[in-house]
Every structure is written in structure tokens, then in C-alpha cells.
């Protein structure tokens, strides 16, 4: 708790300092020869410093790579693409400032950015007011559909629900008892609410669900792991669904390994642990623990092999991992390019109209489509941690899963849909036939 207070206290200073630096950099950039006349600008809004830099830096690199590639193909509408990279420094209010700057000052055609839900929520009003386009690449809690935002990451029904289905299946171990462990903020809380409702609809009793939250940056998981161990000895097969965020996963997994909880006893399926997070861990004790994603680096599809080769060449580092949000940017970028070609213009209104229904190849060999609710169709994979820190896909959904903006399992959102094609509404109530939430 104190951490938060301190974090808040330090932010204004950090932002000022960084804003000054960034402003200087931008000023310099502006002073460069004005060759920017015939380029299309693409904004990259990912934190390059602060706590989220660990995850977001990679996404900035991937957008730069995609832009470079598109330029090699001759650009877009006969113009070259130009990246405008800003650093919101893991500071939520600064995200909004930077977004405004990108749209009004740099006049970018589209923005690729944000990681945490709170950063997305903070830029939302800006994109609505200025009619910008945001491609958001990270799995999130759902319950949102905005005209100006395209959600290329997974909605809960594209990650959490299939993962639970897998654990309930014979191959997954027929789990009967559930621990929902998460970091205390909006994504885990909403996801766990949906999962709880879903589990209950499948006949799981209250006493067979344990929900546990930890503060941000929690490093001491001894008690929680011991509790999980204890919960798992009630004579029913137990599984853990972890929405523990980013960095806190390392101490959590270390403690699991140390206390000898093996995946054969209590499997842990995580929604925020990818190849990148495992890179900081000795994965041998984690063998068999699970992750649910729409993409794994180990996917054998030729298009993925090709992508990884390009990524390694671009970063000049043959060890750089790839992960799910990167794939989301690849899909989102390709969709935007297609939509701009279709519309013949980068005008946001035209692109928004053109993009629904656009189909582009994803990196697992299939085709993803942009839906009317601004979410996309994706395959869902369950991977098991291998000894080399990669994942072995042990299960996948039979086909592509369309993203649900509003969860069917929550009473307050079960009648809502997002439809930006016909209804022009993000929260259309199918029962009252009215636009506007209020179930």
C-alpha cells in the first residue's frame, strides 16, 4: 500500500523529467528537414522506462520492425510509413498526455500501444475526443467495446474460459477444486469474477473455489503457496488459475518449485506468463505448469518460423523470444494496413468502417478476422512449460474463437453486445433493444 503512495508521490516528478527529455527529443526531431510531408505517421505508445518497460519495450521494437517491413514493400498508398515513438514511462496520466500529443501534434494515422488496462482506460477519452485509432495488443478483462479501439489481444472467453475447460477435461486432469490467485487490480478481479460465475455454472460449489489476491510487486509467496497446498489436499483434484501479474510471477514460481508443488499434483495455469517472463527463471521445477495464450513461440507453422527469423535479424539477437502480445501487434498492424488499402485513406472514420470483416493471417497458420465488436477471432492454445523455457502445445481449441466484448457469464453484461457495423453501438442490449448499458 505504501508503495502505491510513494509511486503516486514520485510520478509527477518522473513525468516532468521525462516529459522534458522527450520534449527536447521531439523538438530536435521537428527541427530536422521537413521530409515528413509525404509519409504516413504511426504512433507507438509503449513504456520504455519504469516498471512496465520490461514488457512494453519489446512491443515497440516489433512495431518498428513491421513498419520497416511495410516500407520495404513500398509503403502504404504510395507513401512511406514513419514511426513516432513516445515514452509514457509506465505513468498512467502520462499515457493520456502522450496520446494527445501523438494525435494532435504528430497527426498520426493510428496508434499501437498500451499494456495495462489502466493505461488503456486513461487514453480512452483522448481517442474518443480526437477520433484516433488505438490498437491494443494485450489480453484483458473484457467488458468494453469502443469505436476507436481495436482489441487484438484475448478477451476472457479467448483465454481464461478455454483454459478452465482444458483443466476440467480428462487430459487436463479433471480438476474439481479451484484456486483463483491474482494480483489486486482490475484485470484479475474481473477475470476471476467471470471465472467464478463460469465455474458455478458448471456445478462447482462455493467451498471448492478459493480466491486470493496479492498486492503489486508481492515477493513473499510462502503463505499463499502453503495455503494452496493445503487447499489441494481435500481429496479432490485441484488446479490453480493464476492472474498474478508480470514480475510477481518469478517469486511465485520459485516458491512453488521450492515447496515441491509439481504440475502433476496441482497444475498452475497462468494468463500473464509468457516466454519473456520465463526467461528470468530456472524452469526445471516448473515442468508441466501451464499457460493459455493465442500464440506460442514454439508454434511449428512456417509463417511463425519466418516471423521469428525476421525478428532475430531485426533485433540482431538470435535469443530474443517472441510472445503473444507481439503476435497481436502483427495481426493488428496487418489489419490496419488492409483496412487503409480498402478505404483508400487513413481517415479514422473510413478506416473504422473498412476494418470490420478484414481477414489477415495469424502466426499459427490460420486467419484472424476483425469482428463488429472490434475484437478478433483467434485460436486458443494451452502450453506446458518445457525445460528450455519454451512451451509445448498440449491442447488447442478446434477452431477460431470469436472475442466476446461482454461476458456471457456475468449477469450485468450477459445481454450486451458490441456492434460497430450495423448498430453503431458498443454496448447494445439485445433484450431491451437499446444502446447503452443497464442490464
Partner 1 sequence: MRALYGRLRALAVAFGLLLAAAAANAQSFDEALTGFTADSFSDTENAIGAVARSGNARAADVIAALQDGRLLFDPDGKKVYIKEKDDRIAEAATGQAVAGAPANLRPVRLNNRLRRAVEAALGGLSLFAEDPGRRFDAAQAVFKSRDEAALPALESALAKEAEPWVKTALAEARAAVVLNMSGASEADKLAAIPAIRARGDQDSVALLAGLPANTPPAVTKAANDAIASIQSSLEVWSAVQNAWYGLSLGSVLLLAAIGLAITFGVMGVINMAHGEMVMLGAYTTFVVQEVIRAYNPGLFGYSVVIAVPLAFAVSGSIGVLIERGIIRFLYGRPLETLLATWGLSLILQQAVRTAFGPTNRDVGSPSWMSGAFDVGQLNITYNRLWIICFSLAVFVGLLGLLRFTRFGLEMRAVTQNRPMAASMGIRTGRIDALAFGLGSGIAGIAGVALSQIDNVSPNLGQGYIIDSFMVVVFGGVGNLWGTLLGAFTLGIANKFLEPYAGAVLGKIAILVLIILFIQKRPRGLFALRGRAVEA
* Binding residue (CB under 8 A) for partner 1 from 260, 300, 344, 436: 260
Q: Which helix (H) or strand (E) holds 365?
A: none
Q: Does 396 bind partner 1 (CB under 8 A)?
A: no
User: Taking the chain, what is the end-to-end CA distance rounded to the nearest angstrom?
Assistant: 34
Q: What is the DSSP string of 42-63?
A: EEEE--SSSTTHHHHHHHHHHH
Among positions 272-291, residues that touch partner 1 (CB under 8 A) are 276-277, 279-282, 288
341 within 8 A of 150, measured Cβ to Cβ: no
Is 394 an interacting residue with respect to partner 1 (CB under 8 A)? yes
Please tell me whether residue 173 binds partner 1 under the rule CB under 8 A.
yes
Neighbours of 221 (CB within 10 A): 24
Least distance from partner 1 to the Cβ atom of residue 106, Å: 24
Min separation Cβ 92 and partner 1, Å: 16
Q: Does the footprint of partner 1 cover residue 165 (CB under 8 A)? A: no
As a whole number of angstroms, the distance between CA 431 and CA 99 comes to 36
Q: Which is nearest to 41 in space by CA: 79, 84, 100, 9? A: 84
Q: How far is the CB of 258 from partner 1 (least distance, A)?
A: 4
- 3-state DSSP assignment of residue 409: coil
Run of H or E residues at 368: strand 367-369
What minimum distance in Å lies between the beta carbon of 316 and partner 1?
13
| Part in contact with partner 1 (CB under 8 A); list of ranges 132-140, 167-175, 192-200, 355-363 | 167-175
- Kind and range of the H or E run holding 144: none
Sole binder of partner 1 in the list 219, 305, 318, 344 (CB under 8 A): 219
Q: Give the DSSP per-residue string, 1-38.
A: -HHHHHHHHHHHHHHHHHHHHHHHHHHHHHHS-S-GGG
User: Least Å distance between CB 23 and partner 1?
Assistant: 17
- Region near partner 1 per CB under 8 A, out of 38-46, 152-160, 233-241, 340-348: 233-241
318 near partner 1, rule: CB under 8 A: no
**Identified binder of partner 1 from the candidate list 75, 215, 361, 366, rule CB under 8 A:** 215
- Find where cell 462447482 sits: 204
Binder to partner 1 among 39, 51, 390, 437 (CB under 8 A)? 51
Backbone φ and ψ of 285, nearest 5°: -70, -10
Contacts (Cβ under 8 Å, ≥6 apart) of 316 = none
Residue pair 179/236 in contact (Cβ under 8 Å)? The answer is no
When the beta carbons of 267 and 403 are compared against partner 1, the nearer one is 267
Stretch that binds partner 1, among 11-19, 62-70, 328-336, 343-351 (CB under 8 A): 11-19
Minimum distance of partner 1 from residue 63's CB (angstroms): 16
Establish if 222 lies at the interface with partner 1 (CB under 8 A).
yes
Using rule CB under 8 A, residue 234 touches partner 1: yes
Segment near partner 1 (CB under 8 A); pick from 113-121, 150-158, 251-259, 334-342: 251-259
Torsion, CA 271, CA 171, CA 196, CA 152, rounded to 10 = 40
Among the listed residues 73, 170, 319, 433, the single contact to partner 1 using CB under 8 A: 170
311 vs 439: CA distance, rounded Å: 46
Selected from 236, 305, 341, 424, the binder of partner 1 by CB under 8 A is: 236
Instruction: Please give the sequence-ordered ranges of beta strands (E in DSSP) within 92-169, or none if there are none.
Output: 110-113, 134-136, 149-151
Number of residues that bind partner 1 (CB under 8 A): 62
CA dist 126 to 11, 41, 83, 131, Å? 20, 18, 20, 8
Binding span for partner 1 by CB under 8 A among 12-20, 97-105, 199-207, 343-351: 12-20
Residues of span 353-392 touching partner 1 by CB under 8 A:
384, 387, 392
- Given the rule CB under 8 A, which residues bind partner 1? 1-3, 6, 10, 13-14, 17, 49, 51, 53-54, 57, 170-173, 184, 212-215, 217-220, 222-224, 226-227, 229-230, 232-236, 247, 250-251, 254-255, 257-260, 263-265, 267, 276-277, 279-282, 288, 384, 387, 392, 394
Amino acid at each position: 500500500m505504501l508503495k502505491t503512495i510513494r509511486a503516486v508521490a514520485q510520478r509527477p516528478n518522473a513525468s516532468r523529467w521525462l516529459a522534458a527529455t522527450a520534449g527536447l527529443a521531439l523538438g530536435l526531431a521537428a527541427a530536422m528537414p521537413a521530409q515528413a510531408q509525404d509519409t504516413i505517421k504511426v504512433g507507438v505508445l509503449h513504456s520504455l522506462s519504469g516498471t512496465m518497460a520490461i514488457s512494453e519495450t519489446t512491443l515497440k521494437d516489433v512495431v518498428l520492425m513491421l513498419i520497416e517491413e511495410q516500407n520495404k514493400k513500398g509503403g502504404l498508398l504510395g507513401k512511406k510509413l514513419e514511426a513516432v515513438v513516445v515514452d509514457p514511462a509506465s505513468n498512467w496520466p502520462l499515457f493520456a498526455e502522450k496520446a494527445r500529443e501523438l494525435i494532435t501534434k504528430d497527426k498520426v494515422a493510428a496508434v499501437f500501444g498500451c499494456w495495462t488496462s489502466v493505461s488503456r482506460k486513461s487514453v480512452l477519452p483522448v481517442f474518443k475526443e480526437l477520433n484516433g485509432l488505438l490498437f491494443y495488443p494485450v489480453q484483458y478483462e473484457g467488458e468494453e467495446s469502443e469505436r476507436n479501439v481495436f482489441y487484438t489481444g484475448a478477451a476472457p472467453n479467448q483465454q481464461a474460459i478455454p483454459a478452465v475447460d482444458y483443466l476440467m477435461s480428462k487430459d487436463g486432469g479433471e480438476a474439481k477444486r479451484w484456486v483463483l490467485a491474482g494480483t489486486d487490480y482490475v484485470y484479475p478481479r474481473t477475470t476471476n469474477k467471470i471465472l467464478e460465475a463460469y465455474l458455478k455454472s458448471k456445478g462447482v460449489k462455493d467451498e471448492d473455489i478459493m480466491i486470493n489476491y496479492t498486492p503489486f510487486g508481492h515477493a513473499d509467496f510462502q503463505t499463499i503457496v502453503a495455503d494452496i497446498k493445503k487447499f489441494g489436499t481435500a481429496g479432490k483434484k485441484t488446479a490453480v488459475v493464476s492472474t498474478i501479474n508480470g514480475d510477481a510471477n518469478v517469486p511465485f514460481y520459485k516458491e512453488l518449485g521450492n515447496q515441491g508443488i509439481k504440475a502433476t499434483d496441482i497444475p498452475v495455469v497462468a494468463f500473464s506468463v509468457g516466454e519473456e517472463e520465463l526467461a528470468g527463471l530456472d524452469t526445471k521445477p516448473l515442468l508441466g505448469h501451464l499457460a493459455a495464450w493465442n500464440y506460442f513461440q514454439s508454434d511449428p507453422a512456417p509463417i511463425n518460423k519466418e516471423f521469428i527469423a525476421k525478428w532475430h535479424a531485426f533485433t540482431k539477437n538470435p535469443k530474443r523470444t517472441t510472445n503473444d502480445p507481439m503476435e497481436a501487434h502483427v495481426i493488428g498492424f496487418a489489419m490496419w494496413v488492409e483496412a487503409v488499402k480498402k478505404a483508400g485513406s487513413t481517415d479514422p472514420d473510413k478506416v473504422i468502417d473498412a476494418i470490420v470483416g478484414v481477414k489477415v493471417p495469424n502466426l499459427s497458420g490460420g486467419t484472424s478476422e476483425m469482428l463488429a465488436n472490434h475484437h478478433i477471432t483467434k485460436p486458443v492454445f494451452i502450453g506446458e512449460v518445457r525445460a528450455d523455457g519454451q512451451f509445448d502445445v498440449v491442447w488447442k481449441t478446434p477452431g477460431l474463437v470469436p472475442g466476446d466484448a461482454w461476458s456471457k457469464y456475468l449477469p450485468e453484461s450477459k445481454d450486451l453486445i458490441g456492434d460497430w457495423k450495423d448498430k453503431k453501438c458498443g454496448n447494445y442490449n439485445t433484450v431491451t433493444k437499446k444502446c447503452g448499458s443497464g442490464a
